[in-house]
Amino acid sequence: MRPLRIEPFSFSYDGHDRLTYPPLCFEPGLNILKGANGSGKTTYLKALAGLLGERVHQKESLYMSEKPSFPSYMRVKDYLMALESASPSTKGEANELLERFGLHAKREARIESLSKGMRQKLALIETLNEARPLYLLDEPFNGIDKAFMPLALEAVSALKGIVIVTLHEAVDFKGPLREVYL
C-alpha cells in the first residue's frame, strides 16, 4: 500500500478564521495526527472524509467522530446489523468484536442504557468492523478506561490500511506508529 499524500489546502467555516493545512504524508499503519488546540485536527479529518466537501475527499475512507452519537432507541445488535447490512465493506465480525470488547452481554440492550465508555467501545466496534483503506479516527479513546486502553490500541493499530488518529492525551503504545504534525 502506498503512502497517502495530501496537498496543502485551506478551509473556513462561516464566520471563522481560515484554517490552512500544510502538505502531509501518511504511511500505512498507525499515524498520530498532532497539533495545538484549535489547529483544526477535527476539521482536517472531516475534510478527508468528505464531510466538508469534495476537495480533498478520500474515497473509501471511514471517519469516526470524536463525539459518536447513536440512535439511542436501537438495540446494540440491531444497530450493528443495520450498519453491517448497509455497508458494502463490512468484515461481518460484529459478534466477535462485541465479545472481544466485553459487550457481548449487552447485545440485546438498548444503546441508551450503555455507559459513556461502552458507547465509545461500540463506536470502535463499528469502525473496526469495516475494511477500508483509510481510517480517520478523531479521539477514538475518549471515555475508555485505562485498563482497556492496550486492547483498544492494539485493535486500532492492527487495522489494515492507513490509520490516522487524533489523541487528546498521550498513550503508552509500544507498537510502530508515526507522528504527523499539522
Partner 1 sequence: MKGLFTVVAYRLFHPKIVALAVIYLVVGALLAVYHLDHGAPLINRLSEPALLSRLYFYDTHFFMRIGLLMLGAIMTYKIQQEDALDIPLVMRVGRIRLALLRTLCPTVVLLGVMGLSLLINLHVYAFAPFSEGFVIHHGIVLVYGVYVVYYTALFDLVMNRFKTLYHGMMVVLIALLGDVLMDFDTPVHAMRVPLRMLLTFFPVSVASPEGFQLSVSPLIPGMLAIAYMSLSTLVFTRKRL
Smallest distance from partner 1 to CB 176, Å? 26
CA distance 153 to 11: 30
Which residues within the stretch 42-71 sit at the binding site for partner 1 (CB under 8 A)?
Answer: 46, 49, 51-53, 61-63, 65, 69-71
Distance in Å, CB of 95 to partner 1, minimum: 16
150 interacts with partner 1 by CB under 8 A? no
Q: Of 92 and 150, which has the nearer Cβ to partner 1?
A: 92
Q: Examine residue 84 and tell whether it contacts partner 1 (CB under 8 A).
A: yes
Q: State how far the Cα of 168 lies from the Cα of 20, in Å rounded to an integer.
A: 21
Query: 37: how many CB neighbours lie within 10 A of its CB?
Result: 6
Among residues 52 and 109, whose Cβ is nearest to partner 1?
52
In sequence order, what are the residues at sequence separation of 6 or more whose Cβ sits closer than 8 angstroms to the Cβ of residue 82?
A: 74
Minimum CB separation of residue 73 from partner 1 in Å reads 6
Total number of residues that touch partner 1 (CB under 8 A): 27
Q: Angle at the Cα of 87 (from 81 to 92), degrees rounded to 5?
A: 55
86 binds partner 1 (CB under 8 A): yes
What are the E-state strand segments in the chain?
Answer: 4-6, 9-11, 19-21, 24-26, 29-34, 61-64, 134-138, 162-166, 178-181
How far apart are CB 137 and partner 1 at their closest, in Å? 12
- Taking CB under 8 A as the rule, does residue 78 contact partner 1? yes
Q: Residues 76, 81, 87, 90: is their CA dihedral positive or negative? A: positive
Residues within the interface to partner 1 (CB under 8 A): 46, 49, 51-53, 61-63, 65, 69-74, 78, 81-89, 126, 130
